[in-house]
Amino acid sequence: MPEKKVTIDIGDGAAIPTKKDRGLLSAWRLAFFGAVGALLYLILFHPDPYLRLLKFLPDGILITFQVTFSSIALALVVGLITGLGRISRNATINLIASTYVEVVRGIPLLVQLFYIYYALGQFVRVPDMLAAILAMSFCYGAYMGEVFRAGIESIDRGQREASFSLGFNRTQTMFYVILPQALRTILPPVGNEFIALLKDTSLVSILAVSDLLRRGREFASESFLYFETYTMVAIIYLIITLILSKIVGIMEERMGGHGRH
Amino acid sequence: MADTDPIIRIRNISKFFGQLRALDNVSLDIFSGEKVVIIGPSGSGKSTLLRTINQLETVDAGSIVVDGQDLTDKTANINKIRMELGMVFQSFNLFHHKTVLHNLTLAPIKLKNIPREEAEKNAIRLLEKVGIAEKRNCYPAQLSGGQQQRVAIARALAMNPKIMLFDEPTSALDPEMIGEVLDVMVNLAKEGMTMVVVTHEMGFAREVGDRVVFMDEGKIIETGPPEHFFQSPEHPRLRKFLDQIL
C-alpha cells in the first residue's frame, strides 16, 4: 500500500535503542550498567571524595533538567512554527523561516549562547536562567523546524487530497490529518534532539547558570579535585542520557502501534 | 435523462502539465442521477478530468459549474462545494491515524457540526451498508484493500454528497477483491446517486453506466450509451482500445 514507513535520521543525540538491541549484550546495556557499576564502585570504595560529590551535584542536575525541559518545550513551539513556515506557499513567510534556519545552523551554539545572552543584556535585564533557555530554544527551534518540515513532507499526498475532497481547508487538513500522522514519524528525531539538547545544556554553565557542569566546576575549584569531579560529572550525564534514550525508545514503540506496519 | 440543467457543466477546459496538454478543450454535461463512466488508455487525461470536478486539479482555461456554482470563479468557496462531491481514490487514502469509525465521523463532526453520537450512528449505518460494520474499531492498516476501499466509499458518503467521483477505485485491488467494491458501487447506483467513474472495469461500465465517455490524448473522442458504445464503436481509436482490453 502507498503508506510507507519513513524514518528521519538525524544522528546528533544518543542512540535510541531499537528492537535489535534486545540481546543480553547490547551497547545500551553495556554502557548503562558500566556507568552504574562505576558509580557504585566509586561511592562505595572511595566515598571521599565521590560521595561528597554526589551530595554536592544534585542541585545542578535539577537545573540541567529545568533548562532542558523548558528549552525543549519552547523549541517545539518554535520548531512547529518554523516547520510550517518552511512549507508555506507564502514566499515571504517561507523566506523568513528559511533564513532563520540558515543563520542558526551557521553559528556555533556556544557563540549563539554568548551572543543572545549579551544581546538581551543590552536591552533588558533578563535572569541568567531565562536567557539561557531563550538561547537554547532559539537554536534548537531551528533544528526542530527541520524535523517538523521533514515529518510533514513525509506524509503521503493522498492524505491531503482525501482531506480536501471531504471539504477541509488547508489549516484543518494540517491539524486534523497531516500533523497527527507526522508527529509519529518525527518522534524518534525529536527524542534525539531532546537528548542532544540535554547534553548541550552543559554549555549554559558559561552563563552563570548553576547546572550540573557548573556545580562540578565549583566543587573542583574549591577542592582542586578536577579529575575526580569530571569523572563523576561524566558518569551522571551518561546515566541520564541513557535513561532518556531508553524512554524515547519505549515511547516510539508504543506510538508505532495501531498495527500500521 | 433529466430535462433540467446539468448538475456538472464542464465547458472547454484545458490543462497543461508543463508542455503536456493533459486536457484539451474538454466539454461535458452530467445530469442529476446520471452515471457516467470515463474510460481510456492511461495518460488519456481521464483521471485529470475527474479531479478537476472537485478542483484537486485546477484548470488553465474553461469553466466548471457544479450545482450552480462556478468553480473557476476565484470567489467560489471550494471547500463548501467539495462537501457536495464525495471522492474515492485509487489508493483509498484512509486516514491512517484514525479508526474506521473515526475516518467516517471526522468530517461530519468538524465540518457540519453534527453531534458525535449522531455522526457515529450515521457512520455505523453506512458501514453496515458497505458490509464492514464489524471492523469499525480497526485501523485502516488492519484491513484488506477491498475493505479499505469500501470504508473509503462510506467515508465519502458520510458527508451526504450529491455526487460521487470514483478515480479508478478497483485498480489497486487484488482481483478477488474487485467484486466486493463493485457490488457496493452498483448498489449506490441503484439508489440513484449521481456518479462519475473512471475505471477499466468494462463490465461495470456496461451494467451501470448511463453514458460512457472515451478519452484519448486529453480529448473526449466518443460519448454514448454503453450498448452502442461496446457493440458499434465508431471511432477507430476506440475500436483499437476496446480490442486491446476486451
pLDDT at A71: 95
pLDDT at A15: 60
Q: Is the pLDDT of residue A130 over 80?
A: yes
pLDDT at A26: 83
Of B87, B95, B148, the CB nearest to A165: B87
Residue A23's pLDDT band, with cuts at 50, 70 and 90, is low
pLDDT at A253: 80
Of A166, A177, A258, the CB nearest to B141: A258
Q: Is the pLDDT of residue A128 over 90?
A: no
Name the residue with higher pLDDT: A124 or A64.
A64
Q: Report the gap between the CA of A179 and the closest CA in chain B (Å).
A: 10
Count of alpha carbons within 13 angstroms of residue B238, beta-carbon side: 21
- Which residues in chain A touch residue B174, judged by CB atoms under 8 angstroms apart? none
CB within 8 Å of chain B, chain A residues 131-160 = 156, 158-159
Q: Is the pLDDT of residue B54 over 60?
A: yes
With CA atoms as reference, report the closest residue to B60 among B72, B43, B74, B75: B72
The answer to whether the Cβ–Cβ distance between B141 and A260 falls below 8 Å is: yes
Does residue B106 belong to the interface with chain A, where contact is any CB pair within 8 Å? yes
The model's pTM is 0.85
pLDDT by residue (tens digit) across B94-111?
Answer: 999 999 999 999 999 999
With CA atoms as reference, report the closest residue to A141 among A117, A105, A94, A110: A105
- Which residues in chain B touch residue A170, judged by CB atoms under 8 angstroms apart? none
pLDDT at B1: 45
pLDDT at A136: 93
Q: Report the gap between the CA of A104 and the closest CA in chain B (Å).
A: 33
pLDDT at A148: 96
pLDDT by residue (tens digit) across B160-189?
Answer: 999 999 999 999 999 999 999 999 999 999
pLDDT by residue (tens digit) across B65-94?
Answer: 999 999 988 888 999 999 999 999 999 999
* Cβ pairs bridging A and B (under 8 Å): 81
Of B97, B111, B156, the CB nearest to A181: B97
Q: What's the complex ipTM?
A: 0.94
The answer to whether the Cβ–Cβ distance between B89 and A156 falls below 8 Å is: no
Minimum mean pLDDT range among A255-259, B32-36, B88-92, B134-138: A255-259
Does residue A165 belong to the interface with chain B, where contact is any CB pair within 8 Å? yes
Q: Report the gap between the CA of B78 and the closest CA in chain A (Å).
A: 8
Q: Looking at residues A26-30, what average pLDDT do you find?
A: 88
Residue carrying C-alpha cell 538561547: A135
Output the CA torsion B196→A177→A83→B55 (10° steps): 20
User: What is the 8-class DSSP label of residue A14?
Assistant: P
pLDDT at B75: 87
Q: What percent of chain A has pLDDT over 90?
A: 65
pLDDT by residue (tens digit) across B215-232?
Answer: 999 999 999 999 888 888
Average pLDDT, chain A: 88
pLDDT at A20: 60
Q: Is the pLDDT of residue A8 over 90?
A: no
Name the residue with higher pLDDT: A71 or B243.
A71
pLDDT at A9: 57
Q: Is the pLDDT of residue A250 over 90?
A: no
Query: What is the spatial distance between Cα A199 and Cα A2, in angstroms, rounded to a whole number?
Result: 38
Query: What is the spatial distance between Cα B127 and Cα B243, in angstroms, rounded to a whole number?
Result: 38
Q: Report the gap between the CA of B239 and the closest CA in chain A (Å).
A: 34
Does residue B9 belong to the interface with chain A, where contact is any CB pair within 8 Å? no
- Which residues in chain B touch residue A169, judged by CB atoms under 8 angstroms apart? 79
Q: Is the pLDDT of residue A244 over 60?
A: yes
Residue A259's pLDDT band, with cuts at 50, 70 and 90, is very low
Residue A207's pLDDT band, with cuts at 50, 70 and 90, is confident
- Which residues in chain B touch residue A174, judged by CB atoms under 8 angstroms apart? none
pLDDT at A1: 45
Q: What's at B142, amino acid-wise?
A: Q
pLDDT at B234: 85
3-state secondary structure chain B: CCCCCCCEEEEEEEEEECCEEEEEEEEEEECCCCEEEEECCCCCCHHHHHHHHCCCCCCCEEEEEECCEECCCCCCCHHHHHHCEEEECCCCCCCCCCCHHHHHHHHHHHHHCCCHHHHHHHHHHHHHHCCCHHHCCCCHHHCCHHHHHHHHHHHHHCCCCCEEEEECCCCCCCHHHHHHHHHHHHHHHHCCCEEEEECCCHHHHHHHCCEEEEEECCEEEEEECHHHHHHCCCCHHHHHHHHHHC
Residue A248's pLDDT band, with cuts at 50, 70 and 90, is confident
